[in-house]
Structure 1
Amino acid sequence: MGTLIRHASVITMDEVTGARPITTSIRISDDRISEIGPDLEPRPDERVIDGRDRLVTPGLVNGHLHSWEALFKGRYDNLPLELWMLFSYPILGIGELPADLVRLRTLLVAMESLRAGVTCVVDDVLETPTQNVDQLAAVFDAYELAGIRANVSGHVINKPFVDTLPFVEEVLRPDLLDEVRAITPPRTDEYLDFSRRAFERHHERAGGRLRYMVAPSGPQRCTDDLLVGAAELARAWNAEYHIHVLETKVQAVTGREFHGTTLVEHLRRIGALGRETTLAHGIWLTRSDIEILGAANASVSHNPISNLKLGSGIAPFRDLLDAGVNLALGSDGASSSDSPRMLDVVKAAGLLHKVSEPDHHRWPSVAEVLRAGTLGGARSALVEDRTGSLEVGKQADLVIYDLNTLPFTPRNDLAVHLVYSENGSSIEQVMVAGETVVENGRLTRVDEDAVLAELRHWLPRVREWQEEWESVNAAFVPAFTEIHRRCAATPTGVNRWSGDEEAWLVG
């Protein structure tokens, strides 16, 4: 049975109308949009949704998420990234999480995402100490059950973590250095074999709704042969290559210390930069970096809330757009932003750059931030032919908002309301691939109460583990604090490696 949404206000995000609301009807046949037009009449076998006083939009795309952090939501504050990671991604003292717990934490993220109008997530799943096949399968199983669209990674670090930071030999106790270096990281061939099997088993699952992606953690955290091998594998499978690049000033300093150049230039030199590449964060970029990204047709996932909470910096939004870089938006982790709600992220992206850019003509428009939160995210995930806009032939991933609510009263420019007024409370229905997965605030495929009850059963043990991890990894705090201090003190104009006078473009 098909569905007809009649006479609704619609934001298509296509190339013709973009974020400008139009009044029209949408016909959905099976999983796809089959017709859009003002004069569509119901067919005998169709479910008809009255679109009067309703706004229909593409589902939001979360272009950078870490579901691992769902267990750490609301736990940490006032820590820069390098110190925060000591506790949210412990270096020492952690064992493999059971697959059942991985499934539950993923469902928690899927539930909150769908209820907030997010129909697609790019979930960069990092398991500590390493990811196994059962843990990865648990993530895919959870997303298949919930009905959300997802790119899911095998995230990998194949260097000892202490060797991914500058100055570590100078500031860290030798016994801690030895202990970390005694942990054997995955070899390149192991990760590539793991990813090949993951592609064969999971890529294009659930009718193409679920896809695997490769995710080397960052150029400073992985060897060059792994960076290149993963890029080749992504191209072979037409899959996303997702990598953290220049999130913090520490990482900018690291690139120069390790490679004598920027991390973006290093990726270009070794052949690990292309259309399939999405850089998570992309804050501490130079003008040359931005030109390289534009020429490579790469994407940047901008994570404004997480970057603010961790004090990482402000990405150069306008400069990236001007250079032709595709921009997505992401929540980042459920601990570094404390929520996967993308409406919060869209609003933050719209606001943040108004204070970092003095020329108000260069401030992000509502249309630009909505595009980044929908079609830009779909493009970065390499699924822009399926989702991200409401167009004939695309899958019906959409959100229906009730306009008779406080966020849309008085009713002015609906796109402006959506970005700056709506918080998800007006959402009436969410569809993914033509199926209603949220109706009147409740998921249709998942027993939310049962999931929360099962998760509560685990939480006492999780709390014990977290307290133990925090106690063990607190030993690194003095050294990591000193590394952060040294990098923060590095000038952002002339740098000490080459005399280059090009400043990093933050904001």
Structure 2
Amino acid sequence: MTTSSKSILIQGAEVLAMARPHGERPVQADVLLQGGKIAAIGNNLPIPESCEVIAAHGKLLMPGLVNAHTHSSETFFKGRYEQMPLEAWLLYAYTYISGAPIPDRLLYLRTLLLAMQSLKNGVTTLCDDFFDPMAHSTKRLGIVFQAYRDAGIRVNVSSAVLNTPVLDSTPFGREVFPEHLRNQLNFGAPTTAADYTAYCQEAFRRFHGQADGRLRFAITPSAPQRCTTDMLQACHALAVQHGVPLHTHLLETRVQAVAGQMFYGKTLLAHMHDIGVLDRHTTLAHAIWITDDDIAQMGRAGCSVVHNPLSNLKLGSGLAPIRKLLDAGVAIGLGTDGLSSNDSARVFDLIRFAALMHNTGGTPPAQWLSAIETLRMATLDGARTAMLDDVTGSLEVGKAADLVMLDLDNDNFRPKNDIVKQLAYCENGSSIELVVVAGHVVCRNGQLATVREKEVWDELNQLLPAYLEEHGRWEVANRVFEPYFSEVIRRCKATDIGIQR
């Protein structure tokens, strides 16, 4: 990253600090950034020497947004699929049978592109559940970290692991699939817990804490039904040892709810609790098909959930019981999920949809989500799901200088009635004028300061067509599995699991 780290004084902004308990209404103040942190917040702050002064009257200053769950591996598949539930969509976005992994240069550019589009939309922190099919190469993981270092974003990067064969984690899978297709879904010896532990320890040694702590490594077992018990327990031990999240997918679809019953005789959440991997370190993406008992256990455990409202809608996964989770004391973040199951890196879209999509089903209006609750999910509570709430997510002295400045003189705020409500219901990212990460200006008036965007796209326009053409051939090869996954979904829909979502 090449931007200056000099002091910055932002004068006279409307500051929405999102700090509890009194920072959830805007107040006019100056904010001083020094050494990558927020050095002071107050009125008429003195101007230090060698300081950039930004006049911010008529501007709103807020914490940078946190995208608490995404997958950089989907970035090139934006707008490629529709009308597919998760189990069918996975065949095409992740291709169970495929060729060589994406080339190193495209791996770098793919990661960089996600960071670029995130920063331009006010996202200063990403949680990237990076998936490199069965590879677990520190060299390739290093390419991902380098892209995020160059872009200037704050990030938790993990390298997803699964070591249960596909059909052994899919209800009715071995009944439904004919033998010749079962053989094609046999990928050889799975990763062992010992091998994955050794890989992660090396990743922590090489990458964790780079760029003054802006880049971190996290732990991601793909999902409890996709990992053996010893793998889940090894992942949890790593998370506790290094003070990072154990970030996993949980009960995204009805099929996965049936998997818990069929393979463990209990919910997948209960399985995680019983094997000792459910606590403050545990972050659960989706958490749709959970029971009331699950919710109570999650509250007692102090775990976190990442709500992915647009991905859940696109894949038809269901409505997560967010109000019940909040009432149980579960911290909720917001995630785009990948840019194939969502098609956008815009967290402001998530804020609006999360605030509105649960106003259905006869729920009393008093239990609908409020604007400030969803803004909290996109900032401070999103940071909590990443175990970064002591670092970022609110504008407080001593925290990282991760922030976004928006212009209030535009149609999103005209007429100006309530800034907080208009931020949630009217803003779409078009008002963003300045994005700062760790005290560095990374985007100003829509122009990235860390990346030559045109050069990136010139290169992508040369390299992407051949890659996407090849991926299209693997999509065709995987189509043979779709009727059988459709039958799995049909059977799971006919299975009584005691809840509807």
Instruction: Give me the TM-score of the superposition, normalised by structure 1.
Output: 0.96
Aligned counterpart, 1:392: 397
Find out whether 1:83 has 2:83 as its counterpart.
no
Q: Out of 195, 204, 209, which is 2:209 matched to?
A: 204
Report the AA paired with residue 104 of structure 2: A
Find out whether 1:265 has 2:270 as its counterpart.
yes
Report the AA paired with residue 457 of structure 1: Q
Aligned-partner Cα distance in 2 for 1:33–1:316? 36
Q: Is the 8 A contact 1:130 1:156 kept in 2?
A: no
Aligned counterpart, 1:240: 245
Find out whether 1:474 has 2:483 as its counterpart.
no
Matches within 5 A, 1:205-354: 205-354=210-359
Find out whether 1:136 has 2:141 as its counterpart.
yes
Report the AA paired with residue 366 of structure 1: A
Q: Is the 8 A contact 1:90 1:128 kept in 2?
A: no
Aligned counterpart, 1:419: 424
Matches within 5 A, 1:26-41: 26-41=31-46
Aligned-partner Cα distance in 2 for 1:487–1:475? 20
Give the C-alpha shift of residue 356 in structure 1: 4.1
Aligned counterpart, 1:487: 492
Q: Is the 8 A contact 1:328 1:377 kept in 2?
A: yes
Aligned-partner Cα distance in 2 for 1:177–1:246? 24
Instruction: Report the secondary structure of 2:284's partner residue.
Output: strand
Aligned-partner Cα distance in 2 for 1:330–1:88? 18
Instruction: Select between 356-365 and 26-35 the one with higher mean Cα deviation.
Output: 356-365
* Alignment deviations for residues 193-245 of structure 1 (CA, whole Å, 9 cap, x no partner): 11111011111111000100110000110110000001001100001110000
Report the AA paired with residue 341 of structure 2: S
Instruction: Report the secondary structure of 1:424's partner residue.
Output: coil
Matches within 5 A, 1:63-102: 63-102=68-107
Give the C-alpha shift of residue 490 in structure 1: 2.1
Aligned counterpart, 2:375: 370
Q: Out of 461, 465, 473, which is 2:470 matched to?
A: 465
Instruction: Report the secondary structure of 2:114's partner residue.
Output: helix
Give the C-alpha shift of residue 43 in structure 1: 2.9
Report the AA paired with residue 25 of structure 1: D
Report the AA paired with residue 341 of structure 1: R
Instruction: Determine what percentage of the aligned residue pairs are the same residue.
Output: 46
Aligned-partner Cα distance in 1 for 2:49–2:89? 57
Aligned-partner Cα distance in 2 for 1:93–1:268? 35
Find out whether 1:171 has 2:204 as its counterpart.
no
Instruction: Select between 95-104 and 425-434 the one with higher mean Cα deviation.
Output: 95-104
Report the AA paired with residue 92 of structure 1: I
Find out whether 1:451 has 2:471 as its counterpart.
no
Find out whether 1:104 has 2:109 as its counterpart.
yes
Report the AA paired with residue 56 of structure 1: L
Instruction: Report the secondary structure of 2:435's partner residue.
Output: strand
Q: Is the 8 A contact 2:406 2:431 kept in 1?
A: yes
Report the AA paired with residue 167 of structure 2: V
Give the C-alpha shift of residue 42 in structure 1: 2.2
Give the C-alpha shift of residue 38 in structure 1: 2.1
Instruction: Report the secondary structure of 2:220's partner residue.
Output: strand
Q: Is the 8 A contact 2:257 2:497 kept in 1?
A: no
Aligned counterpart, 1:498: none
Q: Is the 8 A contact 2:258 2:497 kept in 1?
A: no
Aligned counterpart, 2:9: 4
Give the C-alpha shift of residue 357 in structure 1: 5.2
Q: Is the 8 A contact 1:243 1:278 kept in 2?
A: yes
Q: Is the 8 A contact 2:136 2:199 kept in 1?
A: no
* Alignment deviations for residues 79-111 of structure 1 (CA, whole Å, 9 cap, x no partner): 000000011011112322222111100111000
Aligned-partner Cα distance in 1 for 2:258–2:33? 51
* Alignment deviations for residues 242-295 of structure 1 (CA, whole Å, 9 cap, x no partner): 000000000000011000000001001101111111000000000110111111
Aligned residues: 496
Give the C-alpha shift of residue 32 in structure 1: 0.6
Instruction: Select between 424-433 and 38-47 the one with higher mean Cα deviation.
Output: 38-47
* Alignment deviations for residues 298-351 of structure 1 (CA, whole Å, 9 cap, x no partner): 000000000000000011111000001110000001000001110011111001
Aligned-partner Cα distance in 2 for 1:473–1:376? 39
Q: Out of 47, 62, 67, which is 2:52 matched to?
A: 47
Aligned counterpart, 1:500: none
Report the AA paired with residue 174 of structure 1: E
Report the AA paired with residue 455 of structure 1: L
Aligned-partner Cα distance in 2 for 1:327–1:60? 14
Aligned counterpart, 2:3: none
Q: Is the 8 A contact 1:98 1:135 kept in 2?
A: no
Instruction: Report the secondary structure of 1:431's partner residue.
Output: strand
Aligned-partner Cα distance in 1 for 2:491–2:328? 32
Q: Is the 8 A contact 1:299 1:327 kept in 2?
A: yes
Q: Out of 388, 408, 411, which is 2:413 matched to?
A: 408
Instruction: Report the secondary structure of 1:185's partner residue.
Output: coil
Instruction: Give me the TM-score of the superposition, normalised by structure 2.
Output: 0.97
Give the C-alpha shift of residue 186 in structure 1: 1.7
Give the C-alpha shift of residue 492 in structure 1: 4.4
Instruction: Report the secondary structure of 1:332's partner residue.
Output: coil
Aligned-partner Cα distance in 2 for 1:472–1:353? 38
Aligned-partner Cα distance in 2 for 1:189–1:16? 44
Residues 161 and 95 (structure 1), Cα distance of their counterparts in 2 relative to 1, 3 Å cut: farther
Aligned counterpart, 1:152: 157
Aligned-partner Cα distance in 2 for 1:18–1:245? 32
Residues 357 and 342 (structure 1), Cα distance of their counterparts in 2 relative to 1, 3 Å cut: farther
Q: Is the 8 A contact 1:18 1:367 kept in 2?
A: no
* Alignment deviations for residues 464-496 of structure 1 (CA, whole Å, 9 cap, x no partner): 221111111111011100001111222343xxx
Aligned counterpart, 2:167: 162
Report the AA paired with residue 479 of structure 2: A
Q: Is the 8 A contact 1:235 1:276 kept in 2?
A: yes
The unaligned stretches of length 5 or more in structure 1 are: 494-502
Matches within 5 A, 1:486-505: 486-493=491-498, 503=499
The unaligned stretches of length 5 or more in structure 2 are: 1-5
Aligned-partner Cα distance in 2 for 1:357–1:38? 46
* Alignment deviations for residues 102-149 of structure 1 (CA, whole Å, 9 cap, x no partner): 110011100000000000000001112433222211110000000000
